[in-house]
């Protein structure tokens, strides 16, 4: 008689570092499986991927036995690792925080292939490039036009700012001149006022 699946649990655990402590223990403890056994098996299976965060799908059966399937690390994690950044852009595609090469993009796409619904590496690369774009990570040769456009926009903004600064300086100089001119006239008015009050 086939074992009955009681539960399926998805977790993301750092490779080679599963322990019965939270979050693993918190999630798997109530399921009644042997935590020590799970941690040992997971750590052995992921030892070669140390430093990566590995998504894992655990199937738990009615007799408290289990099996798990390892997935590839999340695309965002791999992109940050390759781009050497701690986090993506807060403004998404509007702010470039890092740039990766097409070769690096291909390597990530090849790693992620088993978990993407892509028929070939090219379409997998497009999917990863989309994730990268949303994180503010540009790909040389793919986002070149976009990067050039952003650089041009930044330059135009710089020129515009310089123009505004120059206009402001001009207005300030004019205002200063006017103030100085008025200051010269002030005593004259003051004298007139005095003579008027004397009358």
Over residues 100-153, the pLDDT tens digits come to: 888 888 898 888 888 887 788 888 888 888 888 888 888 876 555 555 565 566
The CATH T-level fold of domain 75-142 is Arc Repressor Mutant, subunit A (1.10.10)
* pLDDT digits 0-9 by tens, 166-192: 887 888 888 777 777 665 554 544 444
Burial 116-136 (b: 16+ CB within 10 A, else e): bebeebeebbeebbebbbebb
pTM: 0.57
Question: What is the reported pLDDT for 40?
Answer: 93
- Is pLDDT at 75 greater than 60 in this prediction? yes
- Measured CA angle at 110 (ends 78, 127), to 5 deg: 70
Question: What is the reported pLDDT for 143?
Answer: 53
Question: What is the reported pLDDT for 118?
Answer: 76
Helices and strands counted in the chain (H then E)? 6, 5
Question: What is the reported pLDDT for 186?
Answer: 47
Q: Return mean pLDDT, the chain.
A: 79
User: Which range, of 18-32, 56-70, 127-141, 154-168, averages the lowest pLDDT?
Assistant: 154-168
CA-CA distance, 115 to 106, in Å (whole number)?
Answer: 15
Question: What is the reported pLDDT for 92?
Answer: 67
Question: What is the reported pLDDT for 121?
Answer: 87
Q: For the residues 46-50, what does the mean pLDDT come to? A: 87
Question: What is the reported pLDDT for 183?
Answer: 58
Q: Give the Å distances, CA to CA, from 195 to 43, 63, 183, 184.
A: 98, 110, 20, 19
- Is pLDDT at 41 greater than 60 in this prediction? yes
Question: What is the reported pLDDT for 195?
Answer: 47
| CATH number corresponding to 5-70 | 3.30.1550.10
Q: For the residues 157-166, what does the mean pLDDT come to? A: 74
Q: For the residues 7-34, what does the mean pLDDT come to? A: 88
Considering only residues 145 and 91, tell me which one the structure prediction assigns the higher pLDDT: 91
- Measured CA angle at 54 (ends 33, 108), to 5 deg: 160
């Amino acid at each position: 008689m086939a074992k009955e699946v009681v539960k399926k649990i998805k977790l993301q655990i750092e490779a080679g570092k599963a322990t019965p402590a939270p979050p693993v223990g918190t999630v798997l403890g109530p399921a009644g499986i042997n935590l020590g056994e799970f941690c040992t098996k997971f750590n052995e299976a992921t030892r070669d991927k140390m430093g990566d965060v590995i998504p894992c799908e655990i199937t738990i059966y009615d007799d408290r036995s289990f099996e798990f399937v390892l997935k590839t690390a999340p695309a965002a994690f791999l992109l940050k690792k390759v781009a050497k950044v701690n986090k993506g852009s807060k403004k998404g595609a509007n702010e470039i925080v890092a740039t990766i090469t097409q070769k690096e993009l291909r390597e990530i796409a090849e790693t992620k292939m088993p978990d993407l619904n892509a028929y070939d590496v090219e379409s997998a690369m497009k999917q990863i490039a989309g994730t990268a774009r949303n994180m503010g990570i540009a790909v040389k040769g793919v986002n070149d036009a976009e990067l050039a456009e952003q650089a041009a926009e930044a330059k135009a903004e710089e020129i515009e700012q310089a123009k505004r600064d120059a206009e402001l300086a001009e207005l300030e100089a004019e205002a200063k001149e006017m103030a100085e001119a008025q200051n010269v006239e002030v005593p004259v008015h003051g004298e007139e006022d005095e003579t008027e009050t004397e009358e």
